[in-house]
């Protein structure tokens, strides 16, 4: 049976991709040679094997491209985004579909891609620029208005995709403030301000627009924040690794039992199906009835009237049992007219 891709997400593939990108992140490198070595070591190209149907293969390739493109865009860090670009290149060139499945690039993500390429050019990461231009020359990208194709069969509650916290980009604005050039410039401005105060004797003791030793205090505060952020991140990571597996399993089992009990003893859903509402109404009526028959059997509810009885009741006629034959739908108004069935048995030519 082919797997079900919910919201263009296949969880086993996402887990393998995160494992691949995690190994690439541990390399502390953004070279394509290191990525290709990990790709070959994991034999990741075999992910397309074992699928025989053309339609299923095309659907899986589409999900693979969407999964790789997800790690190419924010909020992931620069190294993971480079790995996502290499992963798109590898998936596009190893897929077993002709014509190949393209990579959807939405209009809203175009600014992020251009900023990513500009940063790569400034930093001198030519491998990244080469791989991107290689994909562009191969016409691998499909520029669209939305990241996913529009369809009318999406579930009412879309599945929330969990982001890998280890791959998210951390705030770099604080690190920019800790640069030597920036602190030196702040120190020069502070000294110039103090010199101007010394020249103006009238406002020497009245004007205090900045703090004394502002540059040193700023450096100390930012260093403490970076240290706290680093310790908090590693402490959270170690707690997740040390957490025993049996606790998670017991918690999941307890949640499952709680949900089953809630469904069993909870109030009936007003928006449930028609048959379920009928069954619940029958249970309440039988349990709240005045008495029961002998032998422990419950009294059956009144049988609904037939169409003939309802018609007679609407016309104001007597609905008691009649001596007329059941096949006679209407009784004659004249008295003395014999009532007999004109045709009985099979038709004889």
Give the pLDDT confidence of 249-265 residue by residue, as tens digits: 555 666 777 777 666 65
Which of 129, 131, 130 is CA-nearest to residue 118? 129
Mean pLDDT confidence for 263-269: 56
Which tokens hold the place of 312? Answer: 């007679």
Lowest model confidence (mean pLDDT) among 38-52, 117-131, 182-196: 182-196
Pick from 53-57, 134-138, 250-254: least confident: 250-254
Residues 58 and 183 in one domain: no
Domain contains 278: no
User: Is 320 part of a structural domain of the chain?
Assistant: no
Q: Confirm if 105 and 144 have CB atoms less than 8 A apart.
A: yes
In a domain, 321, yes or no: no
CA distance 264 to 277: 14
Domain assignment present for residue 259? The answer is no
pLDDT above 50: residue 245: no
Rounded CA-CA distance 161/248 in Å is 19
Q: Render pLDDT for 277-330 as a digit per residue (tens, 0 to 9).
A: 555 554 444 444 444 444 445 555 667 888 888 888 887 766 565 566 656 555
Q: Given the structure tokens 């099979």, which residue do they identify?
A: 346
**Count of the separate structural domains present in the chain:** 2
Which domain-ending residue is among 115, 147, 169?
169
Kindly state the average pLDDT of the residues 71-97: 93
Are residues 85 and 106 part of one domain? Answer: yes
pLDDT by residue (tens digit) across 208-235?
666 777 777 777 887 887 787 777 765 5
**Burial (0-12, 13-18, 19+ Cβ within 10 Å), 187:** middle
Instruction: Give 159's pLDDT tier (boundaries 50, 70, 90).
Output: low
pLDDT at 87: 96
More confident residue, 257 or 348: 257
Whole-number pLDDT of residue 40:
95
pLDDT average, residue stretch 17-26: 93
Alpha-carbon span 155 to 91, nearest angstrom: 28
Indicate whether 151 and 223 sit together in one domain.
no
Which of the listed residues 208, 240, 272 is the one where a domain comes to its end? 240
Residue 269 confidence (pLDDT) above 60: no
Contact 90, 134 (CB under 8 A): no
- Indicate whether 279 belongs to any domain: no
Q: What is the pLDDT of residue 172?
A: 59
89 and 220 fall within a common domain: no
Domain stops at, among 149, 169, 189: 169
| Structural tokens at position 318 | 């007597």
In the predicted model, what is the mean pLDDT of residues 99-125?
A: 93
Which runs of consecutive H residues, i.e. helices, occur in the chain? Answer: 11-26, 32-42, 54-72, 78-94, 110-123, 126-137, 173-177, 180-199, 214-242, 245-265, 274-287, 307-315
- Please give the share of the chain, as a percent, with pLDDT higher than 70: 59
**Co-location of 186 and 129 in the same domain:** no
Establish if 47 belongs to a structural domain.
yes
Whether residue 110 is predicted with pLDDT greater than 70 in this model: the reply is yes
Per-residue confidence at 1, pLDDT binned at 50, 70, 90? very low
Is the domain of 39 the same as that of 88? yes
Q: Give the residue carrying structure tokens 């191969």.
A: 138
Predicted confidence (pLDDT) at residue 274 exceeds the cutoff of 70: no
Contacts of 9 (CB under 8 A, 6+ apart): 63, 66, 67, 159, 161
Domain containing residue 34: 11-169
- What is the predicted pLDDT for the residue at 307? 81
Say if residues 37 and 23 touch (Cβ distance below 8 Å): no
Top-ranked range on mean pLDDT: pick from 58-62, 254-258, 337-341: 58-62
The whole-number pLDDT of residue 316 equals 73
pLDDT beyond 90 at 7:
no
Q: Are residues 75 and 147 in the same domain?
A: yes
Residue 106: which H helix or E strand, with range? Answer: strand 103-106
Instruction: Note the pLDDT of residue 288.
Output: 47
Across the chain, what does the average pLDDT equal? 75
pLDDT at position 296 is: 47
Residues 180 and 132 in one domain: no
For residue 278, say if its preceding peptide bond is cis, omega within 30 degrees of 0.
Answer: no
Does some domain include residue 251?
no
Whether residue 162 sits in one domain with residue 183: no
User: So what's the pLDDT on residue 300?
Assistant: 55
Same structural domain for residues 38 and 165?
Answer: yes
Position with higher pLDDT, 252 vs 345: 252
Q: Confidence class of residue 118 from pLDDT cuts 50, 70 and 90?
A: very high
Residues 69, 129 within the same domain: yes
The phi and psi torsions of 157 (rounded to 5 degrees) equal -115, 100
The answer to whether position 45 is within a domain reads yes
199 shares a domain with 61: no
Instruction: Output the pLDDT for position 62.
Output: 92
């Amino acid at each position: 049976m082919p797997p079900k891709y919910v919201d263009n997400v296949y969880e086993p593939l996402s887990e393998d991709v995160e494992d691949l990108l995690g190994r690439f992140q541990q390399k502390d490198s953004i070279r394509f040679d290191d990525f290709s070595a990990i790709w070959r070591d994991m034999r990741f190209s075999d992910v397309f094997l074992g699928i025989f149907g053309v339609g299923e293969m095309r659907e899986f390739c589409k999900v693979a491209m969407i999964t790789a493109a997800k790690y190419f865009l924010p909020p992931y860090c620069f190294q993971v985004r480079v790995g996502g670009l290499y992963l798109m290149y590898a998936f596009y060139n190893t897929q077993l579909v002709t014509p190949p499945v393209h990579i959807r690039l939405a209009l809203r993500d175009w600014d992020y891609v251009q900023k990513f390429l500009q940063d790569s050019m400034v930093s001198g990461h030519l491998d990244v620029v080469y791989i991107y231009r290689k994909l562009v020359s191969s016409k691998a990208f499909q520029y669209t208005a939305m990241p996913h194709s529009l369809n009318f069969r999406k579930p009412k509650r879309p599945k929330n995709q969990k982001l890998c916290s280890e791959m998210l980009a951390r705030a770099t604005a604080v690190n920019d403030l800790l640069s030597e050039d920036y602190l030196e410039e702040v120190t020069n401005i502070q000294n110039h301000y103090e010199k101007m105060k010394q020249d103006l004797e009238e406002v020497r003791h009245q004007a205090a627009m900045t703090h004394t030793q502002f540059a040193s205090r700023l450096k100390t505060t930012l260093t403490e924040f970076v240290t706290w952020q680093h310790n908090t991140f590693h402490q959270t990571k170690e707690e997740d690794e040390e957490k025993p597996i049996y606790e998670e399993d017991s918690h999941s089992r307890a949640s499952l039992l709680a949900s089953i009990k809630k469904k069993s003893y909870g109030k009936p859903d007003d928006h449930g199906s028609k048959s379920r509402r009928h069954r619940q109404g029958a249970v309440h009526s039988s349990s709240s009835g005045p008495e029961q028959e002998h032998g422990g059997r419950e009294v059956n509810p009144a049988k609904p009237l037939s169409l003939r009885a309802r018609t007679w009741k609407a016309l104001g006629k007597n609905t008691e049992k009649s001596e007329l034959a059941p096949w006679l739908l209407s009784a004659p108004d004249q008295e003395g007219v014999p009532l007999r069935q004109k045709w009985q048995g099979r038709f004889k030519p």
